[in-house]
Structure 1
């Protein structure tokens, strides 16, 4: 089941890792392992940091996987990671369009729903930035009721139109 929606995302702080590869599952498993290592204590203070959802995966040539940092932390307060690939990234507030789908994902399924989102936006005459991400909301061990989204940042003129409605 798919559902198109629009929404605002607040400015947020993320831990992120940029990876390259051609298989979604390989890249996401590696990215998840690196970031999970950090939040499970793989940092200079051996501090555990709560895991939040969704996990954000950019859908670009080189993928960036991001875990949202709990709101109690600022960039300066986060313990330094043991792995040099991990960066702290501040994402500004933005307005996005999203299409939801259930189940496990793959390269093919991600591309299928990305194309469905593009078609739906074109049908409504909505411009976007072409900056797509996959959002996963369930832990890897969760088998049932898996919720996912493909999102795209909306163009500024669309954001202004939505805000005035």
Structure 2
């Protein structure tokens, strides 16, 4: 099935999670277990000067991986979400970003090795996140505002979250114009040991 048709029909396989709580303020609490993801980081001087201006080079590297740029030349189904870790801590003049595609269950145990030196396979740690759905086509201003919104809601709930960064997640193909799903994830810190 083509990506365009998948985008309209919503047939992408999604990274599994469990909803553990829905809060009165609209935030959803979810648990994600460890899964493998294909990943790439923003590469200064190759991807441009500002990681917030264009994620296209990172997306293109991952898309090339799933369309055959791997050791077995295997075609891999597109999945959701396209998930990007955004560091809130500046590293020199750069802001660290890592974009990931979830590896589907059919090859989760043994994904083919990428042939591009800037693409690699990671296994994300288990995490509990706070999120809510937002629509449209978020830009950097929208994401930063949503980060502040969820951060404030977490503080009001006395929930301690990791403030070193957040995940930007898109679930739809660009050609889907209505009922779009985007989410910003903040990772909940585990309770402190007494």
Q: TM-score range by the shorter chain?
A: 0.7 to 0.9
Counterpart position of 2:137: 104
TM-score (norm 2): 0.75
Gaps of 5+ in 1: 161-165
Distance 1:23 1:74, change over 3 A: closer
Tell me the SS of whatever aligns to 2:79: coil
Counterpart position of 1:13: 36
Tell me the SS of whatever aligns to 1:120: helix
Tell me the SS of whatever aligns to 1:35: helix
Task: Indicate yes or no: 2:184 matched with 1:150.
Answer: yes
Shift of 1:100: 2.0
Shift of 1:45: 1.8
Return the alpha-carbon distance in structure 2 between the equivalents of residues 116 and 78 of structure 1. Answer: 37
Deviations 1:123-144 (A, max 9, x none): 1111011231111111122222
* Match 1:73 to one of 76, 82, 107: 107
RMSD: 1.9
Return the alpha-carbon distance in structure 2 between the equivalents of residues 51 and 24 of structure 1. Answer: 23
Q: Does the 8 Å contact 2:35/2:108 carry over to 1?
A: no
Runs of 4+ in 1 over 6 A off after TM superposition: none
Gaps of 5+ in 2: 1-24, 44-48, 88-94
Counterpart position of 2:85: 58
Question: How many equivalent pairs are there?
Answer: 156
Tell me the SS of whatever aligns to 2:174: coil
* Match 1:141 to one of 175, 184, 188: 175
Q: Does the 8 Å contact 1:3/1:100 carry over to 2?
A: no
Counterpart position of 2:72: 45
